[in-house]
């Protein structure tokens, strides 16, 4: 297990954190390419308007000004820059992109969170159907499997469930808004007060359970099934049930949970959302969902889109790789290069020693706990 308390560049038994992170990113990228995704690169600096749809409470950016005085930010997110590139370059749809890079977010002092995070993810643009959502889930869960991460739990939710249901409740509009706010805040006293007029309605049984409507997928669905028929809600529920069945069929060891009492992860989400974690991780390993209105922030045309992003730092925390650090140093003279190359090929973990003298080679071998092979025979003189 990686030691997260080590400074960047410090070596532990599995190599530097940067090396492990690079290995993880490369494995993810290989998986993306195998499934037909093409790489898209976006700039680290973007105009601040690009990130207006983000929840400012969770994504506070570092800000600066360009030479004309226009506000710029270090990107706090990678999905919105992808959407900006899509809308400004006229790329023909549908497309499947993958990306990787660092994002920067101002964190509260002493919060224990990092200001610079590494993400790697995919965006599928131009596909309306559930297959695109499932492709994201397949990539996410297969990525965890490839990292040998076990005991993965995936939490499903839906951006429209709460709004669709509240819209059908026989309550004044201000009461509906207050009820939703109390539901999200888990303010039970206020919630019960605002929900009291629904006590004798067909929604009573569900509303009584709503603040606690998260956890085991089947148990949550048992409560959902007490609702009266609502056509728009039925489509949402069917998508969630089909997705849970899809996950359990392809990844039977994954625990599927459902939360229908939380707000949408972002204001631009329009459909199903999902987040993956383990009981031993400090945060989510991946998160994503459908955002069919995302490109409307940059153009007037509504475009279907769904994506998922890995938190590479969280994967580093949960992933161990065998140490392939060179354990053999080959010391040689300038005119022995071919001989040194031949010796290099004989060892699985070896590197050429580029020091100019044998004593320096000995010190380097001792500091890296490596075996030293001396082709010059200097040690015998």
State the average pLDDT over residues 244-273: 93
Predicted pLDDT at 77: 81
- The answer to whether residue 305 scores a pLDDT higher than 50 is yes
Instruction: Return the bridge partners of 153, or none.
Output: 255, 277
Q: For the segment 96-147, what is each residue's pLDDT rounded down to a tens digit?
A: 999 998 888 776 544 445 688 899 999 999 898 899 999 999 999 999 998 8
Confidence of residue 69 (pLDDT cuts 50, 70, 90): confident
Q: What is the pLDDT of residues 199-237, one digit of tens each?
A: 999 999 999 999 999 999 999 999 999 999 999 999 999
- The residue-averaged pLDDT of 54-69 equals 73
Averaged pLDDT, 176-181: 96
What angle (nearest 5°) sits at the alpha carbon of residue 127, between those of residues 160 and 167? 15
For residue range 26-45, list pLDDT tens digits in order: 999 999 999 999 998 888 88
């Amino acid at each position: 297990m990686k030691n997260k308390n080590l400074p960047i560049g410090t070596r532990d038994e599995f190599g530097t954190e940067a090396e492990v992170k690079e290995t993880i990113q490369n494995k993810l990228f290989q998986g993306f390419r195998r499934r037909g995704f093409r790489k898209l690169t976006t700039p680290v600096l973007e105009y601040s308007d690009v990130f207006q749809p983000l929840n400012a409470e969770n994504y506070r950016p570092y800000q600066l000004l360009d030479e004309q005085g226009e506000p710029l930010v270090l990107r706090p997110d990678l999905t919105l820059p992808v959407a900006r590139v899509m809308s400004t370059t006229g790329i023909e749809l549908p497309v499947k992109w993958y990306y990787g890079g660092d994002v920067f977010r101002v964190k509260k002092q002493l919060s224990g969170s990092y200001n610079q995070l590494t993400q790697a993810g995919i965006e599928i643009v131009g596909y309306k159907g559930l297959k695109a959502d499932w492709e994201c889930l397949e990539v996410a869960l297969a990525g965890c499997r490839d990292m040998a991460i076990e005991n993965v739990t995936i939490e499903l939710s839906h951006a429209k469930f709460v709004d669709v249901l509240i819209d059908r409740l026989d309550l004044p509009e201000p009461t509906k808004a207050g009820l939703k706010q109390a539901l999200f805040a888990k303010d039970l006293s206020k919630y019960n007060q605002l929900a009291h007029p629904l006590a004798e309605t067909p929604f009573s049984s569900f509303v009584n359970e709503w603040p606690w409507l998260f956890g085991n997928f089947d148990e949550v669905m048992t409560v959902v099934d007490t609702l009266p028929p609502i056509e728009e809600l039925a489509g949402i529920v069917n998508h969630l049930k089909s997705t849970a069945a899809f996950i359990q069929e392809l990844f039977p060891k994954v625990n599927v949970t459902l939360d229908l009492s939380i707000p949408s992860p972002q204001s631009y989400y329009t459909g199903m959302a999902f987040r993956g974690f383990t009981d031993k991780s400090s945060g989510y390993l991946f998160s994503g969902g459908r955002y069919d209105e995302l490109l409307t922030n940059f153009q007037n045309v509504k475009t279907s889109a769904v994506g998922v992003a890995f938190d590479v730092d969280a994967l580093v925390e949960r992933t161990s790789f065998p140490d392939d650090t060179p354990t053999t140093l080959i010391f040689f003279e300038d005119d022995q290069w071919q001989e040194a190359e031949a010796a290099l090929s004989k060892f699985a973990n070896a590197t050429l020693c580029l020091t100019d003298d044998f004593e320096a080679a000995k010190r380097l071998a001792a500091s890296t706990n490596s075996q030293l092979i001396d082709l010059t025979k200097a040690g015998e003189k």
